[in-house]
Amino acid sequence: MDEQEVVRSLAALAQPVRLKVFRALVVNGQAGLTPSAMAEGMGIRPNTLSFHLKELVHAGLVTQERASRNIIYRAAYERMNALLGYLTDNCCEGAACAAEADATCKC
C-alpha cells in the first residue's frame, strides 16, 4: 500500500458517520449489509448513507456487489489489513510490541 492510498483511506475514515458505517461492516463480516439495513440500524438517512458509502468505496475500504435487487456492501478486509500493516510496520524497531510498556519496547 503506498502513501497516497493510506492517506485516502485515513481521510475516508476521518468522518464519524463513515467510521461508524465501516465498523458496522467489519463487525458484520462477509455477509455484508444492504443500505436499507444500515440506514435503519444506524439511524442514518438513505441519501446521507449513500454519500458516505460512495466515499468508502472510492477509498477502497468497502466493496459492493449486486445480489438480485439489492446491493450488498462489505468491508474490504485485505485493504483494511494493508492499512493496519502500513501503520504498524516497523513498530518498536521491528521487535514484538508488548501490551504493556516495558524497557525493551520504544513504543
* DSSP E strands, the chain: 62-67, 70-75
Contact criterion met (CB below 8 Å) for 25 and 33: yes
Read off the pLDDT of residues 68-86 as tens digits, 9 standing for 90 and up. 999 999 999 999 999 999 9
Nearest partner of 12 among 46, 48, 58, 45, judged by Cα:
58
Tens digits of pLDDT across the chain (107 residues): 899 999 999 999 999 999 999 999 999 999 999 999 999 999 999 999 999 999 999 999 999 999 899 999 999 999 999 999 999 887 777 666 666 555 555 54
Residue 36: the pLDDT is 95
Nearest CA-CA partner of 56 in 7, 97, 11: 11
The whole-number pLDDT of residue 24 equals 97
Comparing C-alpha atoms, which of 56, 68, 48 is closest to residue 24? Answer: 56
